Amino acid sequence: MGQEKPENRILRSIQRVSLLLTVIFVGAGFFIWGTLFAQSVLVGSLLVNGSFWMLKRDAEQILGRVATSNPDMVRTVQRLERVRFVFKFYAKLIILGLLLYAVSTRMQLNMIGVALGLSTVMLSVIGVVVSGGRKLYSIQSA
């Protein structure tokens, strides 16, 4: 088995940190504010992590299609894939918004908890990038 690509390692790290943050936020929310808050964090986190996973999968599909396309058709494939990606992105965003609306009308949710859950991927990206930048800086300064 070969070396894992750096971008795959970064994305995997983001997913792991996001899962860890979800567990921490749900656990702390349960002990500090109760079941409703923890449940709300979990709902927000599941939505945003699902969205991130689908976005990652779509990006990998685009890169695969462009890489395997005929060299003469690369520009055309890139344009087509860009339009397809944007369309799918906004369609999924609308569906996730409708899903959040449906869940929030059927269940009682704490919106602060939902917002905290929705922020797990963003906080993971910031944490992984800052950590990676610090590692890169320490390697260059040595």
pTM across the whole model: 0.79
Residue 22 per-residue DSSP state: H
Q: Side chain identity at 46, as an amino acid letter?
A: L
pLDDT of 136 higher than 80: no
In the predicted structure, residue 72 carries a pLDDT above the cut 70: yes
CA distance 140 to 121: 28
Over 50: is that where the pLDDT of 34 sits? yes
Provide the pLDDT confidence category of residue 1 given band limits of 50, 70 and 90. Answer: very low
